[in-house]
Structures are given as C-alpha cells and as structure tokens.
Amino acid sequence: MKRISHWIDGKVVEGTSGRSGVIWQPATGEQQASVDLASAAEVSAAIAVAKAAFPAWRATNLSRRAEVMFRMRELVDANRKEIASLLSSEHGKVLSDALGEVARGLENIEFACGVPNLMKGGFSEQASTGVDVYNIRQPLGVVAGITPFNFPAMVPMWMFANALACGNTFILKPSEKNPSASMFIGELLKQAGLPDGCFNVVNGDKEAVDAILCHRDIAAVSFVGSTPIAKYIYETATANGKRVQALGGAKNHMLVLPDADLDMAADAVVSAAYGSAGERCMAISVVLAVDSVADALIAKIADRIPNIQVGPASHEGNEMGPLITGEHRDKVASYLAGAEAEGATLVVDGRDDVPADGFFLKPSLIDNAKPGMKVYDDEIFGPVLSVTRVSGYDEGLQLINDSPYGNGTAIFTRDGGVARQFQFDVQVGMVGINVPVPVPVSYYSFGGWKASLFGDQHMYGPDGVNFFTRSKVVTSRWPDPRTSTVDLGFPQNR
C-alpha cells in the first residue's frame, strides 16, 4: 500500500507519530494509500525548519524570488496533466474539471511573478523640511495554510504563491483526504529553485492543525474549509496572536428573473450545480425562480440532467465524478430522503441507477424548497439543486440577504438596471451577472461575506499580498546642519 508522508526541508520525511489516515479512490470505493498524520512534535520540528529558512529567503532579492515563481509557473504548466491525474485519483473529479482547477491555480503563481511590483511602497519627499516619509512592505515570517479537500491543488496555490513571493516561509497542512498534489507541489518548488525549508507540507488532522494554531513561531494562518472549522480556526489563532483569514462554507443562490434567457440560465445552473459533483464552495445550490417562469425553468433543468455523464474520471467523456467518501455520499443522500418529509418535491432523484462501485450519487433536483427546511438551509456540498419559487426581485433579494452565508451569488436577467441594483443591494462577496460561478481572476481577490469569511482580508490577489506582508513606515532625515535644532514640541510640519 502506498504511504504518503511529509515534505520537510526539501525532502520526503516519514512520519513518526504512528497514526495514519486512509486515502480512498472515490471512483472505486477502495483504499489506495495511507497518509501519515503528524503529531504536535512533528509539526513543531517542521516549523523550526521553516523558521531557520526564513532569514535567507527574506533577504533574497525580489528579482530572484520572482524568478523562482516564473520557473514554478513553467513547471506547473508542463505538469498540468500529472497534477490533474492526482486530483482525479484522490478527489474523483473528472479530468477536464481537474485541468480547470490547475489552470485557475496557475493564475495565482503568474500573479506572484509580479512580486517586485506588488511589494512596492509609497514615498513622500519633503513631508517636512528635509524629511522624507516612505513605507515598505515586509514578510511576516513563518506562515501556514490549512486547506480543504475540494481543491487540493488550487487552494494551496491561492496561498503559497503570494506568501513565498513576498518572502515568507510556508507550512502547508492539506486535507488529509487528498494530500498528493501538495507533495508534488513541494517537489516542483524545489525544482524551481526554492531553497529547502521554505515550503513544507505537514500532513495531519486536528492534532496538526491545533499545533499550528498555538505555535508561537507561526505569524499568520490562511484557512479554507467549512464554516464551523473556519470559526474555530479564527478564534483560536487570533487568541494566540496570529493574523488570520478563514474562509468558510456557502449556500449560493441564483436569482432568475422572467426576462432572462431561460435556456442560458438552465445551462448555467446545471453546470454550476453539478460540476465537480457540487463539491465547490461557489456551486449554485439554490435557484430562486420567479413564479411566472419557474415551471418552464424547472422543465429545462430536468431535461438537461439525464444527459450528464456520471462515472469515473478514467472514462473519457464523463462529466461528473463521485463524492469524496462513502460517508459524505450517504450524508448528501440523506437530504434527498428528508426533502419530501419536509414538504419539498423531489423532481429528479439522484439515488436511482448509480454506478455500483465508488461513492457515486447522480444529480438531484428539488422543487418547493423553503427557508426552515434542512435542504434549503444547510450547505449540502453535493449534486443537489433546490428551487425556491419567489414572487419577484424583492423577495429573491431578501432571501439571499437573509442567508447566513455570503460567498457567491448570481442574477440572470437582460435588464442592466436591475442587475446594477442587484450588485448594489446584495450582501454577498462575489456576484455574477449572467455568470453562475463568479470566481474572481487572480488579480482581484476571493472572499465571501458573513459566515463565509472570518477575518477581513480576502484570499489571493492584492488582499493576498496585504495578508502576507506588513507595512513599515520610515520617517527619515539626513544630517544637514541648516535644519538641526533642539525642539521638544511634538513633531509637526507647519
């Protein structure tokens, strides 16, 4: 059985805790590997390595740090298929989806190649007579990333690219369900010329996470995962004096107005709800359909569902793979069992006719979902789309704003004025106008509102650079006898 260990100081390091986790092959339901789960002492040892690597890396000039990112960009580009096949094997997502994940992750490495420009400060000449004031951005030290199972390559890239380019050293604690992409990234960063010790992968579970959150040499924690854990990470790490950004879960609504192109809306929602088996934090899980078009829209969605090819990634042409574990598949299926008891209508039941092996569930469609029903309220994180009928824009908007989550949302309409009003009114961090999955490009930043983000800096892009650096302001004057006097008053310039 394949064993996945840790990547520390530029090499694979076997775990010593004696604890390990199971890596499944979701498409077959079989165990394919085991992963070492680090003890607090092993985490501490990895942090010591990253701490020792920090002074030389932060002193490495900007051009050289950028050069490492440029080389990493070429290596990830050349290894797209290799990374994607690791994702397909351990996560289950089909190859086209996995390649999309790598492409969106790669954007973040490309963004970080611009680090000499991104870290520029400001300069004010003659702020007072003979006095100049300027600010510089400096790295924080050893920073950590803790990532979820659903984007095992892209989410680490959201974090480490800016963190390393800005001069920090990095501890990555990937999801224990699919750590191989992170281990491969470690090898690629070494090939790209990153000095040993600057990027380390510590595999583990809660014990490793808690060791990171409490360690005095960790300056900042970047987290992506479910809302209860995000809240826990934020509260624990900030209580230990760390800078934290903790992105949580989601329940994304798409509002379809009567003037929308219904075929376009149906194509979009089917793609956004069932892509990656609904295991995306930006998946659409609720359609708010205005009454006058609800029947027609539901019919168009239901027509499209049987055409979705569900099966293993190994079979070319499949569009939707299995869920991550059997346990998660059963949990998602339990929402279907409960939906009718709650008063909703099961239009398409994804439990029918599923492949015999693996953790599969087919796409499901539920009508008449309402607030207060579990199927409406909970983040299901599977291929289950609910439809809630609304009287119009105002009711739809109200439901979105009442949701405790605020990650992504979309409006489908041909009316530019209403769309503009929506972007003004809606209390959500990422908004799509006739775009169902509005994940920002890497030169903007990614982040939700409300229970979808704890902390105030969004992920990657300009916020990512802010998060992984701190500003220092220097007020300077060079010896000039003409301006030198004793003055005990508070410094002022008038």
Give the per-residue contact string, 172-201, with ligand NAD (x = CB under 6 A; - = no): -x-xx-------------------------
225 binds ligand NAD (CB under 6 A): yes
Give the binding range for ligand NAD (CB under 6 A) out of 102-110, 122-130, 144-152, 367-375: 144-152
- Residue 355 Cα distances to 16, 93, 95, 227, 359, angstroms: 39, 15, 18, 31, 9
For 24, the token pair is: 């499944």
- Residue 119 Cα distances to 245, 447, 459, angstroms: 20, 21, 17
State which residue has the least CB distance to ligand NAD: 225
146 binds ligand NAD (CB under 6 A): yes
Question: Of 68 and 224, which has the nearer Cβ to ligand NAD?
Answer: 224
Return d(Cα 293, Cα 309) in angstroms, integer.
Answer: 27
Return d(Cα 275, Cα 319) in angstroms, integer.
Answer: 8
> Cα–chain-centroid distance for residue 430?
13
249 binds ligand NAD (CB under 6 A): yes
Q: Which of 113, 166, 198, 281 is catalytic?
A: 281
408 binds ligand NAD (CB under 6 A): no
The C-alpha R_g of the chain, in whole angstroms, comes to 25
Which one of residues 189, 379, 400, 436 is an interface residue with ligand NAD (CB under 6 A)? Answer: 379
Give the binding range for ligand NAD (CB under 6 A) out of 17-25, 143-151, 162-170, 306-314: 143-151
Terminal Cα-to-Cα distance of the chain (whole angstroms): 74
Give the binding range for ligand NAD (CB under 6 A) out of 159-167, 170-178, 193-201, 466-474: 170-178
Query: Closest approach of Cβ 78 to ligand NAD, in Å?
Result: 26
For 459, the token pair is: 């992920």
410 binds ligand NAD (CB under 6 A): no
Sheet containing 364-367: order of strands? 345-348, 364-367, 384-390, 284-290, 252-256, 408-412, 430-433
Give the binding range for ligand NAD (CB under 6 A) out of 10-18, 49-57, 140-148, 306-314: 140-148
The site for ligand NAD, by CB under 6 A, has a size of 26
Which one of residues 67, 187, 205, 415 is an interface residue with ligand NAD (CB under 6 A)? Answer: 205
Which one of residues 86, 192, 201, 224 is an interface residue with ligand NAD (CB under 6 A)? Answer: 224
For helices 62-78 and 95-112, give the axis angle rounded to 10 degrees. Answer: 170
- Residue 346 Cα distances to 251, 366, 387, angstroms: 19, 5, 10
Question: Of 151 and 170, which has the nearer Cβ to ligand NAD?
Answer: 151
Give the per-residue contact string, 455-494, with ligand NAD (x = CB under 6 A; - = no): ----------------------------------------
- Residue type at position 279: E
388 binds ligand NAD (CB under 6 A): no
311 secondary structure, DSSP code: S
Q: What is the DSSP secondary-structure string of 17-73?
A: SS-EEEEEETTTTEEEEEEE---HHHHHHHHHHHHHHHHHHHHS-HHHHHHHHHHHH
Which one of residues 222, 413, 452, 466 is an interface residue with ligand NAD (CB under 6 A)? Answer: 452
Return d(Cα 491, Cα 201) in angstroms, integer.
Answer: 48
149 binds ligand NAD (CB under 6 A): yes
For 181, the token pair is: 């992409």
Query: Closest approach of Cβ 151 to ligand NAD, in Å?
Result: 6
377 binds ligand NAD (CB under 6 A): no
DSSP 3-state of 469: strand
Question: Of 99 and 209, which has the nearer Cβ to ligand NAD?
Answer: 209
Query: Closest approach of Cβ 271 to ligand NAD, in Å?
Result: 18
Return d(Cα 271, Cα 5) in angstroms, integer.
Answer: 36
Which one of residues 150, 245, 252, 285 is an interface residue with ligand NAD (CB under 6 A)? Answer: 150
Q: Does the active-site annotation cover 281?
A: yes
Question: Of 146 and 419, which has the nearer Cβ to ligand NAD?
Answer: 146
Question: Of 89 and 175, which has the nearer Cβ to ligand NAD?
Answer: 175
94 binds ligand NAD (CB under 6 A): no
Question: Of 9 and 379, which has the nearer Cβ to ligand NAD?
Answer: 379
Torsion angles phi and psi, residue 247, rounded to 5: -90, 135
- Residue type at position 269: V
Q: Are 287 and 254 spatial neighbours (Cβ–Cβ below 8 Å)?
A: yes
250 binds ligand NAD (CB under 6 A): yes
DSSP 3-state of 327: helix
Residues paired with residue 20 on neighbouring β-strands, in sequence order: 36
Question: Of 213 and 289, which has the nearer Cβ to ligand NAD?
Answer: 213
240 binds ligand NAD (CB under 6 A): no
For helices 393-402 and 416-425, give the axis angle rounded to 10 degrees. Answer: 30
For 287, the token pair is: 């359609």
Buried residues in 55-65 as b, exposed as e (16+ CB within 10 A): eebbeeebeeb
Question: Of 148 and 321, which has the nearer Cβ to ligand NAD?
Answer: 148
- Residue type at position 81: K
Which one of residues 2, 206, 315, 472 is an interface residue with ligand NAD (CB under 6 A)? Answer: 206
Query: Catalytic amino acids?
Result: 281
Q: Return residues touching ligand NAD (CB under 6 A).
A: 146-151, 173, 175-176, 205-206, 209, 224-226, 229, 247-250, 281, 379, 381, 407, 448, 452
